[in-house]
Structure 1
Amino acid sequence: MPRLAKLLGYTLDQPLLIVNCDDIGSSHSANVASEAAIRDGLATSATLMVPCPWAREAAEQFKDLDVGIHLTLTAEYPTYRWRSLTGARSLRDAQGYLPRTARELWAQADPVEVEAECRAQIDQALAWSVDITHLDNHMGTLQMSRDLFPIYVKLAKEYQLPLRMAGEGADARLGFNGRHQAREAGVLYPDHFSFQWGTLTAELFEHYLANPRPGVLEMILHPVSDGPELRAYDKEAVHIRTHDAACGIDQTLKARIDNAGIKRISFRPLREAIRVQQDYLHWR
């Protein structure tokens, strides 16, 4: 049974839920929908894409909210692109932008340049006065790579931040034991993770409500307000992103979660546990 709940001050059987809004900074519409989901809805935190055009707005808009860094090494849209902060050669495609897919990135990325870029993104957010609560990564580029995963853990340990971690079954699928590596480094991460691109988030919430597991579960939203901006850059995923925007402010769903004895938290308690617990290396 997970021991993280106890480290955070709860009983071992307490279900704890983090609902994170990914991709703030990617567009103004993403900022609007994500802020509403946290201030008025069921979300508890967000993660910032520092290289993106609307990142500076998000840093200001979310300055009193719990925000992590969505380490960004890809720019997936055909005509809406962004570049790395460092301009590193191995992080550029033929047009000078970040690669569009994780596979393209993995085929060319120099781990030294990846680490420098991730560090630059974290440091830029700190310069914007973002009180960083955690790290995760866009499109799983660090989590799903045996070569790049150690960078993910190294930065979390150095900056004393918790991580997003794939679910328990991911290690066998990916071919390396990432959860064990993070645990050995003393890095905290939620016990469970629930997300499947293309599956409506409401269905995942229903599954969780039917069987709330003890310990900390992270679920993620990709909320974007509908309108010309979204339909211009991500017309293929309008349904998913607007569904998540609606889900994030669904007061009935929020009440059902809270009334089920599930405690909604952010990554901040995990970060504070790292920073104040003398024995956090032995959290599991």
Structure 2
Amino acid sequence: MNRDIRLLVRADDAGSSWSSTMGCLRACTEGIARSVEVMMPCAWVPHAALTLNDRPEIDVGIHLTLTSEWDAVKWRPLTQAKSLTDPAGCFLPLLRPRDGDGRPSLSEVEWSLEEVAAELRAQIALGVAMFPNASHVSCHMAAHFRAFDARLGDVIADLCREFGLKDDAFGHGLPRFAGYPKFPRETERRVDAFLRALDGLEEGTHVFIDHPAMASPELSMTGHDGYEDVAKDRVTCLETLTTPAIRERIAQLGITLISYRDL
């Protein structure tokens, strides 16, 4: 086909666990993902660097993080950002309140713009130091933090110019390709939905974002009230992105897989 369709498949949350880093790697090396987002405040970032830096063809993004959403797995700011944390020193679970979710959010506290700016700078500085192939930044749990507060858009834009990174195109209006619905979390159903969605993809550049991961005891403990099946969700995501039928359909349709570097 001669249609000009480009698809950016982005694998999020590398560095947050062994499972997520290895899932992101496999989604690239065995599947259709081309960009991997790394969460710099998380414990498994050194492992992510050892894993991804050996693969210079994989595009890396610094996944700016201001929240810590899981109950049994937590991360803290890289800086002394007391206005962003709970009494234990961890990021709060949410950016904004959610219906039916009583956990605290950043929007409900008196957070400091200066502390946020310092934290984002620290994450980006560490990211470019640890990941020479980093090309861009993205935002965790948000299309872009400027939607949370417009001032953060200016902070991030200034930091990207300073560190030579691109700002996330998804946050700047790149249309999102749904791929498959959240439910059911079954690989066969997700593959079928993804194939149908590919058939209907229109000309232009689109982004698909999800969180591939490999099964592990650690992943099985990841979740929170209302989202207890994180492991099933993320393992079936990986299985879907690495399914040969999807790669074959992309080739048949003449869809070009790209990374952020190609934008």
Q: TM-score range by the shorter chain?
A: 0.7 to 0.9
> For 2:246 and 2:170, how far apart are their aligned partners in 1?
25
Report the identity percentage.
Answer: 30
Structure 1 contact 19–266 (Cα < 8 Å) conserved: yes
Q: What are structure 1's unaligned runs of at least 5 residues?
A: 1-10, 167-178, 180-188, 271-284
Report SS of the residue matched to 2:9. Answer: strand
Structure 1 contact 133–161 (Cα < 8 Å) conserved: yes
Letter in 1 for 2:215: D
> What do you get for the CA RMSD once the two structures are aligned?
2.2
Structure 1 contact 16–265 (Cα < 8 Å) conserved: yes
Cα deviation, residue 135, structure 1? 1.3
Find the counterpart in structure 2 of residue 198 from structure 1: 182
Q: Deviations over 1:42-82 (max 9, x none)?
A: 11110000100101111221112211011111111112101
Question: 1:93-172 to 2 correspondence within 5 Å?
Answer: 93-103=86-96, 104-108=105-109, 109-140=111-142, 142-147=145-150, 148-158=152-162, 159-166=164-171
> For 2:245 and 2:119, how far apart are their aligned partners in 1?
41
Cα deviation, residue 151, structure 1? 2.7
Question: 1:53-72 to 2 correspondence within 5 Å?
Answer: 53-63=43-53, 64=56, 65-72=58-65
Q: Deviations over 1:142-193 (max 9, x none)?
A: 1531333333333334434141425xxxxxxxxxxxx4xxxxxxxxx6x312
Cα deviation, residue 205, structure 1? 2.8
Cα deviation, residue 203, structure 1? 6.4
Find the counterpart in structure 2 of residue 30 from structure 1: 20
> For 2:145 and 2:239, how far apart are their aligned partners in 1?
29
Cα deviation, residue 240, structure 1? 1.2
Find the counterpart in structure 1 of residue 99 from structure 2: none
Task: Give the TM-score of the pair, scaled to structure 1.
Answer: 0.76
> For 1:52 and 1:198, how far apart are their aligned partners in 2?
25
Cα deviation, residue 197, structure 1? 7.8
Q: Deviations over 1:2-48 (max 9, x none)?
A: xxxxxxxxx9x510011010000010011111111101111111000
Instruction: Give the length in aligned residue pairs.
Output: 237
Q: What are structure 2's unaligned runs of at least 5 residues?
A: 97-104
Letter in 2 for 1:82: W
Question: 1:208-219 to 2 correspondence within 5 Å?
Answer: 208-219=197-208
